[in-house]
Amino acid sequence: MLAHLSIQNYALINHLAIDFTKGLSIITGETGAGKSILLGALGLVLGNRADLTVLKDTEKKCIIEAYFEIEGYKLQQYFEALDVDYEDTTILRREILPSGKSRAFVNDTPVTLAVLNSLKLKLLDIHSQHQTAQLSDINFQFSIVDALAKNTAKLASFRRGLVKWNGLKKELETFKEEAAKSKEQYEYNFHVYNELEEADLQIGEQAILEEKLDKLNNIEEIKLNLSESLHLSINEEIGIQTQLYALESRLLKIATFSKEYQELSERISSLKIELNDIVVELESSNESLELDPNAIEQLNDRLQLIYRLQKKHSVSSIEELLDLQKSLHTKVNQVEGASDLMAKKEIEIQEVSQKLDEVATLLTQGRNSAIPKLQKKLESLLGDLGMPNAKFEISVTPSTSYNANGKDILHFLFAANKGGNFGELKKVASGGELSRIMLSIKKILSENTKLPTVIFDEIDTGVSGEVSNKIAKIMRDMGKGMQVLTITHLPQIASQGEQHYKVFKGEQNGKTTSNLKLLNYEERVAEIAEMLSGKDFSDSARTHAKELLGDTSSPNF
């Protein structure tokens, strides 16, 4: 509920701080005294847009704070979804700076106006004659029926399932589109993939082939140089091998005389061993070299295949060709396996659809059970409100498609007069009738769901006498389970509030200001007497005012 409202530098208000309590509270005041300003300030703190015209003093900022007691409303998860810190006493603050910039806070955390607008749905419902258009909104009509049907949990379950179903359908459509595009390229992709697969390319293969071919193409020169190298190494007279043997023999003769000579001798021995190994490899290489035209042709053919594939696909390495082969393999498999994958996705959609149908059936059953009670309750309340011939014709018929409220089409028809034709509310009900219908609906909703604070802005316009007493009773009954604030010009309604506030104009520093105060008992008697007969009210008006207040007032006001 709205526990406290603070307004600074807004419209005609310099500074206003007022506390509110649960139950039915009344707000009265002369036309133009500032009741609309109060509602404007509440709208601003709940996310309405504003400009510099709201500043009373254009050199100071406007600050509006609203304290809401929300323990027991089970809004923790809702706050988490909005990424806002939850507090049992939640403070909404809006600041309009002289520069024109606006700032919003929830529990001292900066937020966007979108967050305030989302919270407004859970915290405050301001209803005026202009908002009766909501009665023709199909989602609002469903919410009325579902409140009586106790469908809240089932409807939440259905909507979660519907989100999943829509997501799966979108995935399937996207997959079909991608598969169709892939199929157009399938023949080409399949041909190129097979060509690469048949090539059986290996990483590093190109460098090895190029080296082998280079060796075979220069075999005569290689063989000549290998033979010469062997001659230089093993010739009995001048070969390196012979010279090393002689050098090793000389150093062995003096090795025992010095460690230095010993090390030199060992190093020569190592060179001799290494040279012997080199000679063996030279002999082996020389003997294995043989001109093979067939081998050259095979190497040339293999390299030409690699070069051709690289040029065809504008790449420069086997690694890039293998990456292309992998990508084409995926695309080919997508097309070849598309039917299986689509079949699996359609089965998944069907399973979710079956569950949705089951929940939708439960929703329909609950609605069919609740509708007769709703019609009877509405017609009874409207009878008390001066519409004895008002009739509703509410029904649901099955639909073949899903919507946000299940698989039902809701028909919410109304006839105001006996024997009159039923029609849509917006077409057959007058403004005053719509106001009384909305009041009746709010009364029913207050008994079946947890409504936020409701503010009725002159919903009683155009009624009087016994009807106004019935309106007052309905509001007072609603106030037993929730907070109701009512702006009214009718003394019969004003007398029914547990608290009574008055909006009035004053003057400060030569400027008109608006103020709001909680009336005590005597002030309340005077206010209601003035509502009955004007400013110069008589003693009889005062007496009548006291009679209207009856047991609803006490000297504690």
CA 12 to chain centre: 39
What are the φ and ψ backbone dihedral angles of 245, each rounded to 5 degrees? -60, -45
What is the per-residue pLDDT across 79-103, written as a single tens digit (0 to 9) for each?
999 999 999 999 999 999 998 899 9
DSSP code at position 79: H
> How far is it, in rounded angstroms, from Cα 204 to Cα 195?
19
Summarised one tens digit per residue, pLDDT across range 399-415 is: 999 999 999 999 999 99
Q: What angle do CA 31, 35, 39 make, to 5 degrees?
A: 145
Q: How far apart are CA 43 and CA 157, in angstroms?
A: 32
How far is Cα 377 from Cα 281, in angstroms, rounded to an integer?
109
> Rounded CA gap, 145 and 163, in Å?
22
Full pLDDT tens readout for the chain, 557 residues: 999 999 999 988 889 999 999 999 999 988 877 888 888 899 999 998 887 788 888 889 999 999 999 988 889 999 999 999 999 999 999 999 998 899 999 999 999 999 999 999 899 988 876 677 888 899 999 999 999 999 999 999 999 999 999 999 998 888 787 777 766 677 778 888 889 999 999 998 888 888 888 888 888 888 888 888 888 888 877 788 888 888 888 888 888 888 998 999 889 899 989 989 998 888 888 777 777 788 888 888 888 989 999 999 999 899 999 999 998 888 777 776 677 778 888 999 999 999 999 999 999 999 999 999 999 999 999 999 989 999 999 999 999 999 999 999 999 999 998 888 999 998 898 888 888 899 999 999 988 888 789 999 888 777 777 888 899 999 999 998 899 999 998 999 999 999 999 999 888 777 888 899 999 999 999 999 999 988 888 889 999 999 998 844 444 44
Cβ neighbours for 331, distance < 8 A, ≥ 6 positions apart: 182, 185, 186, 189
* Digit-coded pLDDT (tens) for 151-202: 999 999 999 999 999 999 998 888 787 777 766 677 778 888 889 999 999 9
β-bridge pairing 406-415 and 423-424: antiparallel
Distance CA 511, CA 505 (A): 10
| CA–CA gap between residue 79 and residue 115 (Å, rounded) | 10
β-pair type (406-415, 391-403): antiparallel
* Domains, the chain, ordered by start: 1-111+452-518 (3.40.50.300), 186-336 (no CATH), 525-557 (no CATH)
Predicted TM-score (pTM) of the model is 0.69
How far is 374 from 29, CA to CA, in rounded Å? Answer: 36
Of 415, 418, 464, residue with least CA distance to 437: 415
CA angle, residues 412, 417, 418, in degrees to nearest 5: 105
